[in-house]
Amino acid sequence: MNPNTPNLNRLILHLLVLACWSYLIHQPAHAGAWAQPRGHAYAKVSGIFYHAEDVYNAMGQRQEMGINDDEFAGQQMFLYLEYGLRDRLTLVTQMRAGALTDEDAFVRMKTTGIGDLEAGLKYRLVDQPAVVAPMLSLKIPTGYNAWYDPALGTGKVDVEARLLVSRSFYPLPVYAGLDDRLSAARRSVLESMVMVS
């Protein structure tokens, strides 16, 4: 028996776990234009931790956040759910909870709680050669105080219309999507993104 075999087996196991983990964490935050079949559900719990001491100014240059050693940090968990009401019609919800901290040399402000609830419906129009689905959603404050600093949300109801277009390149683990949004609470915003797993 080769004395390096246990180390090789351990390395293979670690690489396998790393590959599975990277596959799981690189999934898109939503299931794109695909609809859930009637009676089926999809759920995803995810989290994010971030910390910042710098910001980008209007010229795109990095600078310190403030003059008093300002820092911003967040720890948030997200719950994303989809439920197939009909084969083409899917209920989509998302909620976040966590803690946001804004701190400088003199004061530390921390807000914890549940952020906005987002709920919407997406309807799959076609599924070949790409999946196309319009989506209408509503963002609703959950009772937090929008005047707290830092706030857990905007404190306002928001209506959003989206057009989702998705395409799978199976058997390759590659998925592409276009997500165009128009939101009533903001000026018209047009976002396009490509997701590759």
- Whether the predicted pLDDT of 139 surpasses 90: yes
CB proximity list for 84: less than 8 A, separation 6 or greater: 35, 36, 37, 38, 39, 40, 41, 90, 91
Mean pLDDT score, 46-70: 84
Rounded Cα distance, 112 and 152, in Å: 8
Least confident of 85-89, 90-94, 101-105: 101-105
Mean pLDDT score, 27-47: 82
| C-alpha 53, offset from chain centre | 23
Rounded Cα distance, 25 and 20, in Å: 9
Least confident of 29-33, 34-38, 139-143: 29-33
* Domain residue spans of the chain: 32-183
Q: How confident is the model at residue 146 (pLDDT cuts 50, 70, 90)?
A: confident
Q: Is the dihedral of CA 99, 187, 162, 193 positive or negative?
A: negative
Cβ count near 108 (within 10 Å): 10
Does the pTM exceed 0.85? no
- Whether the predicted pLDDT of 156 surpasses 80: yes
Output the pLDDT for position 39: 96
Output the pLDDT for position 59: 83
- Whether the predicted pLDDT of 99 surpasses 90: yes
CB proximity list for 119: less than 8 A, separation 6 or greater: 91, 92, 93, 137, 138, 140
Q: What are phi and psi of 79, to 5 degrees?
A: -120, 115
CB proximity list for 50: less than 8 A, separation 6 or greater: 73, 74
Q: How confident is the model at residue 32 (pLDDT cuts 50, 70, 90)?
A: confident
Least confident of 16-25, 80-89, 91-100, 117-126: 16-25
Per residue in 11-30, pLDDT (tens digit) is: 666 666 555 544 444 443 34
What percent of the chain lies above the pLDDT cut of 70? 76
Output the CA–CA distances (angstroms, integers) from residue 132 to 33, 35, 124, 125, 182, in the order listed: 6, 10, 6, 6, 16
Rounded Cα distance, 80 and 58, in Å: 33
Output the pLDDT for position 12: 67
Q: How confident is the model at residue 35 (pLDDT cuts 50, 70, 90)?
A: very high
Rounded Cα distance, 70 and 73, in Å: 10
Cβ count near 31 (within 10 Å): 20
The first and second tokens of residue 53, run together, are 């001491």
Output the pLDDT for position 22: 47
- The beta-strand segments (E) located in the chain are 41-52, 54-56, 62-64, 71-84, 89-103, 108-123, 131-140, 158-168, 175-183
Output the pLDDT for position 36: 94
